[in-house]
Amino acid sequence: MQSPSLPQLHSFLLLYCFTLISLFIQVLGDGGFCSAPSILEADVSSKPLYWKVTNPTLSPSHLQDLPGFTRSVYKRDHALITPESHVFSPLPDWTNTLGAYLITPAMGSHFVMYLAKMQENSRSALPPHDVERFVFVIQGTVTLTKTSGISNKLMVDSYAYLPPNFEHSLKSDEPATLVVFERRYAFPDDHSTEQIVGSTDKQPLLETPGEVFQLRKLLPASVPYDFNIHVMDFQPGEFLNVKEVHYNQHGLLLLEGQGIYRLGDSWYPVQAGDVIWMAPFVPQWYAALGKTPSRYLLYKDVNRNPL
Ligand X SMILES: NC(=O)N[C@H](N)C(=O)O
Site residues for ligand X per CB under 6 A: 230, 232, 244, 250, 284, 298, 300
Q: What is the 8-class DSSP label of residue 239?
A: B
Q: Taking contact as CB under 5 A, which single stretch among the options 96-104, 239-247, 251-259, 268-276 is the one that binds Mn ion?
A: 239-247
Choose the one of Mn ion, ligand X, none that binds residue 183, judging by a C-beta under 5 to 8 angstroms depending on kind: none
In the complex, the smallest distance separating the C-beta of residue 299 from ligand X, rounded to whole angstroms, is 10
Name the residue whose CB lies closest to ligand X: 284
The pairing of strands 151-154 and 176-184 is: unpaired
In the complex, the smallest distance separating the C-beta of residue 250 from Mn ion, rounded to whole angstroms, is 6
In the complex, the smallest distance separating the C-beta of residue 303 from ligand X, rounded to whole angstroms, is 13
Sign, CA dihedral 150-154-157-161, equals positive
Question: 42 or 263, CB closer to ligand X?
Answer: 263
Choose the one of Mn ion, ligand X, none that binds residue 298, judging by a C-beta under 5 to 8 angstroms depending on kind: ligand X
Sign, CA dihedral 257-260-262-267, equals positive
Question: 77 or 244, CB closer to ligand X?
Answer: 244
Among 59, 169, 244, 281, binds Mn ion (CB under 5 A): 244
In the complex, the smallest distance separating the C-beta of residue 235 from ligand X, rounded to whole angstroms, is 15
In the complex, the smallest distance separating the C-beta of residue 284 from ligand X, rounded to whole angstroms, is 4
N- to C-terminal Cα separation, the chain: 97
Q: What is the largest CA-CA distance in the chain?
A: 106
Q: Long-range contacts made by residues 208-214, C-beta under 8 angstroms, separation at least 24?
A: 210/241, 210/242, 211/240, 211/241, 211/242, 212/238, 212/239, 212/241, 213/238, 213/240
Q: Number of H helices and number of E strands within the chain?
A: 3, 20
* CB-CB contact of 78 with 250 (8 Å): no
By CB under 5 A, how many residues form the interface with Mn ion? 1
Choose the one of Mn ion, ligand X, none that binds residue 230, judging by a C-beta under 5 to 8 angstroms depending on kind: ligand X
The CA–CA distances, whole Å, from 194 to 142, 166, 188, 220 equal 20, 9, 14, 10
In the complex, the smallest distance separating the C-beta of residue 113 from Mn ion, rounded to whole angstroms, is 15
Binding site for Mn ion (CB under 5 A): 244
